[in-house]
Chain A
Amino acid sequence: MKISWLPAIAGAAVIGTVIRAVFFTPLEAKQGAAQKIFYIHVPAAWVAFLAFALVAIASGVFLWIRDQRLDRFAESSAEVGVVFTTVVLITGPLWAKPIWGTYWAWWDVRLVSTLFLWFIYVAYIVLRGAVESPELRARYSAVLGILGALLIPFIHLSVYLFTTMHPQPIVGKPSEPSLPREMLLTFLLSLVSFTLLYFAFVRSRYRYAVERDAAAATAEHNA
């Protein structure tokens, strides 16, 4: 049996990170166990941003050189980004309820703009399913993929620009991280392991797209 190393390493890294976060990382004094949601919520948000930024880059280059591999990569990265954003939108409210006293606040720009980002890339997937011509599908979705990613810097800066319940970054900021060493190590491990999981998912999704297009071409040839 052939072993795919990237999914195996990514899976092991995620399991190892979760074991470390659950059993070997101390509880935070004020928030208690709920703070441990940090180790899955923030890496999921980082990966979602990475995924959509790569969709925009691949889409931009696609519009320039029209290489179908870039369209397939953008399609794959967008779908995986939606999966990670879904995790962000579920784990965030589950963390917010015990700490803020509410699952969601519609006036909070960080929360609502993240929901908009999710809607844009769900629309991207729906658009791809709705346009039959492969050339038009690739072109339209490339434009939407680029426009959607423009929300990313806005979402990142929203905690500085607006009054929001969402805390400002405690690691990704110009000054020293505001985390004890043990928690910081678990957090960095979680960033690496979920990024590996992203690449494993995208590789598998890309291969599916290649096999699907080959099967469609064969079916068309036989018809």
Chain B
Amino acid sequence: MLRPQQPSTMPETSSYYHLAYTIALGIYAAYALSLHVRRKHVRPG
């Protein structure tokens, strides 16, 4: 008989964790991009 890999007490919470990682890494990437763009705008030439 097949058994689930996870214990039955373990809730299915992967969607929250995927969303949290996506948003956090997205915020860091967006901030890095904003710094790049802002610096490009103030550089002479």
Contacts and interface: CB of A to CB of B under 8 A. Distances in A.
Which range contains the number of B residues in contact with the other chain?
20 to 34
Contacts of A99: 13
Contact of B11 (A7, A31, A90, A91): A31
Interface string B5-16: 011011111101
A36 B10 CA distance: 13
A34 B7 CA distance: 15
B31 A40 contact: no
A18 B43 CA distance: 34
Interface in B1-45: 6-7, 9-14, 16-17, 19-21, 23-25, 27-28, 31-32, 35-36, 38-39, 42-44
Contacts of A90: 20, 23-24, 27
Interface string A182-223: 000000000000000100010011011001100100100000
B20 A41 contact: yes
Given A208-B42, A211-B42, A215-B44, A86 B27 contact: yes
B28 A33 contact: no
Contacts of B6: 27, 32
Interface of B: 6-7, 9-14, 16-17, 19-21, 23-25, 27-28, 31-32, 35-36, 38-39, 42-44
